[in-house]
Structure 1
């Protein structure tokens, strides 16, 4: 009897392996990932089957976006507020912007003020001033929140806001903020702050969605001002962690109709986490201090399209003179790699800035498997020397820039919820250009000789790490 049960169990595991392999064949995010999963599932089903159901799921199921649904409570609210946006949306613009709008499922808006915030002090000073000025509500979302001096300072500002009658909603990723203790959250709740984890694996039906993350960093004050960019909440982001040294990052503050896009992304995330539909102000307020045009592009594994990857590829194909990219984690998919090489071949000044010091070894090693081909094609690779580089910025010619949370790797392209601000404005692009020129002056350029001189064992290790890129 026992041997019969054992045989049935072994057969069931292999059947599950075959079924999972078929699913991987039909739905894996990349051909590289499909081949890796199929071989593993058919050869080592005892290990590969549970791994596939945790790490190999192609999409995030159950998440409702107002932009993508036809008849939901969220959609009905969205339709009403989008009508309010029409006075601030240009009646016509070029095809490049139309493509971004299609990806974002959000309109380009004018009458905005976009302010670069360079490094931690400028970012958190600006954010804390905004929290102090809040009168109606605060929406705050981070991937990582730490219970350190910066986290406690943020907690204090939020508690004060809640006690003076401001509605405060605080959303965090339960994996990114896994070290955040219950006492920190309880103190916020006791002060009247509404607190929730994103809960990617919420409920029995979605219990295997463990490999997805909400990597967005969003703050919205009263629907009038918003913040997004690379910063999380921890003293290392202020350069106070000796392991990382000086921390180089970029955030930005938006004022005007584009803030509605940030608010909408938070609103959808909060709905997923809590089932609540927040009552917020949906009347855009215009500012003509700078009159920047802005498109907010939310992206994530619930999208029908691979929004983040397509957005980056579109930016690369749009470049005519220069394409400067900064990313702490640079393991782009094949489409982005090909686009970068082709841009360099047609004479575009393509530069990629990466950190000299890694904080994720596998991702750092993966890049060495394809960097030689990049350099041969004319892509210039730079390593940032003073400390850890964490900013996610793209400059396209002298006409447009992108600032957000998207890294150039598979996780940001397909596994994370992310958010990007696209600003097709020459003046703002000029500010980004000056900022990046200072950063490049603190870098060293990587030569082809340096890459080819790496010992064989390092080359093999890099190639093996690259094979794991689809699940990193």
Structure 2
């Protein structure tokens, strides 16, 4: 009995500590987060949907760098493509190119100390972002830098859903082929990507380069109207709400994890009540425990409200996009889930160019063609194990 009381007291203490740690850490984060978005910018964009094509282009661009390579990733693995990536960066650093590499501490946990040491010895300036730290240990484990940004010579930018690892180039049998959206950017807006990288770099490496003109060349004005919106600490929710409220005819959402906030879900249901068509694309195969089950309670209600839901079957669907009518589309690093909404650092690009939106919609139509419709009858079919998973997922949905 004494042991049970001690154990119960210990469990209660841990729960109280975790709750207080998270609430106080979030309060602190909210107090320092700065809301930023650009004015309308003009650039030129290529879209990549297959990893092999993206990384062929990406590695070629890095190899051609003359001055600087600035890279921020959420995940870099310990595998052949990661080693090739590191090798290219080391070669460029040894040639005299400034190379700065910023990786999320937990997302890139497979990057070991000896690898970091070798990178630094080759001349690469390296830092981990979002390290676990006091006084809010639990909260700091949850807040990740989920951005994927690269800027080369201040003139070429990359942004989107791809990380560095074998699954992203179709070498994971369970998740192949990997479907994602990543953009290559040229034009005036690359300067903003540069500034966002350097803000994060200064926070974690302690080197302030924002006032250095060498990193901000004069760039030509492109043709695609767009704006960048970096977010953290809950800022993304309001941005998504604004998008949904603008819809008059249709909303398309592509995401690997459909776990919206209460406010966003209510707005989606309201959009259906006012006659807006709603289409959601999600994976058929999940890559993490419980994320699929967490989505089912929302998808049931959307299907009952007349929405269309498709499960992508030609590999794993990791794209992150929203299309509102034919007027606005979003491609970025943020998933349609509560972790991206409330915890992660993200960066999204909103496009206002009709021709670009048509390009993206053609890609989405291909993805719908490679999907199967999900029906309410399937989700309502009795399944004891799935029901228990859904209950557990509902309790943990904020952290999935």
- Settle same-fold status: TM greater than 0.5: yes
1:257 aligned to 2:188? yes
Q: Which residue of 2 aligns with 1:125?
A: 56
User: How large is the Cα RMSD of the aligned pairs?
Assistant: 2.4
Does the CA contact (< 8 Å) of 1:147 and 1:184 recur in 2?
Answer: no
- 5 Å matches for 1:111-260? 112-202=43-133, 204-205=134-135, 207-208=137-138, 209-260=140-191
SS of 1:272's equivalent?
helix
In 2, Cα distance between the equivalents of 1:51 and 1:315? 34
In 2, Cα distance between the equivalents of 1:426 and 1:135? 34
Partner deviation per Cα, 1:208-227 (whole Å, 9 max, x = no partner) = 52221111100001221110
Q: Which residue of 1 aligns with 2:281?
A: 353
Match of 2:354 among 399, 404, 426: 426
1:285 aligned to 2:219? yes
Greater Cα offset, 309-318 or 434-443: 309-318
- Higher alpha-carbon Rg: 1
In 1, Cα distance between the equivalents of 2:248 and 2:130? 42
Q: Could you tell me the TM-score, scaled by structure 2's length?
A: 0.91
Partner deviation per Cα, 1:374-430 (whole Å, 9 max, x = no partner) = 111122111001211111111222222111111111100011111111111101000
User: How far is 1:366 from its partner?
Assistant: 1.1
In 1, Cα distance between the equivalents of 2:101 and 2:28? 22
Q: Which residue of 2 aligns with 1:58?
A: 26
SS of 1:213's equivalent?
coil
In 1, Cα distance between the equivalents of 2:321 and 2:389? 29
SS of 1:178's equivalent?
coil
Q: Which residue of 2 aligns with 1:463?
A: 391
Closer, same or farther in 2 for the Cα pair 1:297/1:342, shift >3 Å? same
In 2, Cα distance between the equivalents of 1:129 and 1:347? 47
1:438 aligned to 2:369? no
Which 5+ residue runs of structure 2 have no aligned equivalent? none
User: How far is 1:63 from its partner?
Assistant: 9.2
In 2, Cα distance between the equivalents of 1:284 and 1:118? 30
In 2, Cα distance between the equivalents of 1:138 and 1:126? 15
Does the CA contact (< 8 Å) of 2:281 and 2:309 recur in 1?
Answer: yes
Q: Which residue of 2 aligns with 1:78?
A: none
Q: Which residue of 1 aligns with 2:13?
A: 46
User: How far is 1:197 from its partner?
Assistant: 0.4
Matched residues, number? 391
Does the CA contact (< 8 Å) of 1:382 and 1:446 recur in 2?
Answer: yes
Which 5+ residue runs of structure 1 have no aligned equivalent? 1-6, 15-43, 69-102
User: How far is 1:311 from its partner?
Assistant: 1.5
Match of 2:226 among 281, 294, 303: 294
Does the CA contact (< 8 Å) of 2:130 and 2:145 recur in 1?
Answer: no
Q: Could you tell me the TM-score, scaled by structure 1's length?
A: 0.78
1:393 aligned to 2:360? no
